[in-house]
Structure 1
């Protein structure tokens, strides 16, 4: 689909937030490629600058305002006109309201409107002015758009959009809409096509993958989807995110029985206090969460568990926080994303008053980080003096002579480039690493055998 207006123009995309945002950026990039545009590495080189935004935490707003404003000082592009666009969750939430703080933005498109990016950009170049499209309902057209992937061996595959959970602190249901599952056949066909072109690893994406299919079939069919995707010949399957209330026994069975499903599970707990979980509208208790962990480990004993935890939710007491610490110690996460609560206007939690001093919340946060680090270090010791298959991604940022990649448990792995090979020859290959060093956030060792 060539566009006479956009053809030959350069573009730059900066993405904030989750994997779903990153995949949306791939779709926007693919659409612009099909219009004859060319991606560049810096905003100063671009005729089109696009910010794909996240609004889960307040810091994302601040970053967007700063980076958009910095575009004002960029030199004019060769064509004389630069179009600034904002997409994603902040765009969906604020719409035209963004122009109050960002008067240099030309195009605003919401999460359900990315299929219309090209026409909005064309209008901005031809007509000038502001062009805004923030539809409430997702037509699903975005999942059929072309994509531009940075890696030819790995891909994100969206299986659903939106969320029905309405956790009291979370803005996502308001900016991503209600759950909408893609058809079973489209997902399997997409993965089959990816296998055909050499993709080895996929991540199935959704705000709550465990409820996949509920809107289509009346009951979740995520376990069935995992088995069908595993039959395509794909070598590695990850998925995110999983809500504990919807993690069914049949899904745990599929994880254990489908060889391509990697032994890693991200299961966000958010708090270890049942009282706080109720205030968060998470719809499970501490005891139910820990019982799930036991069920998963019974079927997949060495699984790597990761999570999200919020510190400082309004009304959290020291006793509540101690419950979170003890849960983290009991589970022993391989990795965790820890956050200080960020008030999001429009969510129920934003109306809850909290007298807890900021320095108390920071002190609790630091205590939690220490527990998480200790658990991650202990978990990684299980792989010391074992051979771990690593999917090579490139080289370490700190040392270009060392390979960097991921294990089946999503651990970062480092190893010297083996003699006789170049990095380019190894990217996308799987190499076995004999691990002689296990640290908190990575494994390190020596490549043994031949790449495959």
Structure 2
């Protein structure tokens, strides 16, 4: 390929795909040039991830698109075929899977849980920890024989891992049976990418290091009819030194309030009982809406007036948890008294090295404000053990902070270095056996405080949103209290999807047992 051809290809690729009529048109035009290597370049090179570009991103305007449509010529591309999506990671990944499933359904595909029946398999990946990455590469190894036996099977890797240079390079080098790699910013391009993967002979790679736009009206195949995820923003601007998310998810981009409210009203009309507002840093919502002075507190104050029983949000950053949000949450109603507030460490020095932009003291002051305004609120958190050069004294500060706050639960992790983050470059003088012992000690405290928090529910009557059968016993139903406590109880299947009253008869470390004292209203 000559230099002029490369420039022309670059112009095609760097443009907003929403402004391109279709990739098929481009392929046909390129074929007329009678250049085989040009077509091959189109099919294999779109844009691979570049962490330096992602890290140095500018504050260019985000474009909003209200008109997502599937091109007419692609609407039946999946007719008679089946898809399988395996999801790793956070609620945002789960929601992305719902969107991809919705798009695939609109393309004519049907869902299957059996890889042997699938015509397309997508692994929606997480980049937060090394263990999640290892699981995905292990799954790619397991799927290789299936791909060899069925060459027409489309195997794709998407999500946060796809935004990492090292991951894409490893796939290109060691997992050449993969047909399709795409990132977090271009899910709306799935119809065109599948078309390329089906009709092309080369691996299709489309990963943008630039920011993604906000695409409204994307189809969604939601998991169930009781609870729904609602993205209110994308990306993160915090750049914690251990975290790859700002590079994989991009800068903070808020949806317009009217679009969010319309979606939630639609969910309420469909009979959903609970919505969870999602964002990598959810309480930074609205800060990028330059034409509005509008934050998460303002949004939740409007959602509070919608006729839907339960509203939650995740995940919060302590630095952006402002007084307006506390004021609105204190109004109660359908705003649930449950707050997940990741602290990561109880040491101000470690927090500084993590670039968290708050101190132990400011975090405790925030907790004081929350408890003063919402005395019955249940607080949970995330904690990283063994951050580079964490001392025993600094770890003890985390232990005492846990007591002082009185968290009712926590997700705890041993620090996992992620390539491309500042922390990964630091010398780590904390031996692994020390990290594991600290994690064990922390988890003992977490379990203790969870047991104590659940004891206060003994013999009380609580409202439980019933999600379905217990994972361990199909004769037992399971659901959650407003404070997000899991309750198992016997009851009729008609209770699924309803909020029922349950008297707690037994408390455990992490769950409650009870008996239903009120018949459920049948779902209409």
TM-score, normalisation: structure 1: 0.96
In structure 2, relative to structure 1, the CA distance for the partners of 1:272 and 1:40 (3 Å cut) is same
Alignment check: 8 A CA contact 1:211 1:220 kept = no
Alignment of structure 1 residues 49-60 onto 2, 5 Å? 49-60=121-132
Instruction: Check if 1:349 corresponds to 2:419.
Output: no
Alignment check: 8 A CA contact 1:163 1:172 kept = yes
Alignment check: 8 A CA contact 1:210 1:220 kept = no
Instruction: Check if 1:216 corresponds to 2:289.
Output: yes
Partner of 1:444: 513
Q: CA deviation at 1:443?
A: 1.0
Alignment check: 8 A CA contact 1:14 1:50 kept = yes
Residue of 103, 112, 118 corresponding to 1:31: 103
Distance of 2:513 and 2:298 partners within structure 1:
36
Partner of 2:86: 14
Distance of 1:336 and 1:163 partners within structure 2:
22
Gaps of 5+ in 1: none
Partner of 1:381: 455
Q: CA deviation at 1:123?
A: 1.3
SS at match of 1:227: helix
Deviations 1:114-157 (A, max 9, x none): 1111211121111221111112211112x431000121121100
Distance of 2:199 and 2:234 partners within structure 1:
33
Partner of 2:312: 238
SS at match of 1:268: coil
Instruction: Check if 1:362 corresponds to 2:436.
Output: yes
Gaps of 5+ in 2: 1-69
Q: CA deviation at 1:80?
A: 5.9
Larger Rg: 2
Distance of 1:74 and 1:263 partners within structure 2:
47
Partner of 1:274: 348
Distance of 1:446 and 1:237 partners within structure 2:
25
Distance of 1:102 and 1:336 partners within structure 2:
36
Alignment check: 8 A CA contact 1:44 1:75 kept = no
Alignment check: 8 A CA contact 1:264 1:304 kept = yes
Partner of 2:65: none
Deviations 1:320-339 (A, max 9, x none): 00000011122221211000
Alignment of structure 1 residues 165-314 onto 2, 5 Å? 165-217=238-290, 221-314=295-388
Alignment check: 8 A CA contact 1:195 1:233 kept = yes
Deviations 1:181-235 (A, max 9, x none): 0001000011011111111100000011111000004755110000111112111
Partner of 2:191: 118
Distance of 1:165 and 1:342 partners within structure 2:
18
Distance of 2:404 and 2:157 partners within structure 1:
42
Partner of 1:48: 120
TM-score, normalisation: structure 2: 0.83
Distance of 1:4 and 1:196 partners within structure 2:
29
Alignment check: 8 A CA contact 1:415 1:445 kept = yes
Residue of 479, 498, 513 corresponding to 1:429: 498
Alignment check: 8 A CA contact 1:332 1:376 kept = no
Distance of 1:96 and 1:399 partners within structure 2:
41
Q: CA deviation at 1:101?
A: 2.8
Q: CA deviation at 1:268?
A: 0.2
Alignment of structure 1 residues 60-71 onto 2, 5 Å? 60-71=132-143
Distance of 1:328 and 1:205 partners within structure 2:
25
Q: CA deviation at 1:75?
A: 7.3
In structure 2, relative to structure 1, the CA distance for the partners of 1:58 and 1:75 (3 Å cut) is closer
SS at match of 1:383: coil
Q: CA deviation at 1:20?
A: 0.4
Residue of 143, 154, 157 corresponding to 2:227: 154
Aligned residues: 445
SS at match of 1:443: strand
Distance of 2:459 and 2:112 partners within structure 1:
43
Alignment check: 8 A CA contact 1:333 1:375 kept = yes
SS at match of 1:309: strand
Distance of 1:75 and 1:210 partners within structure 2:
43
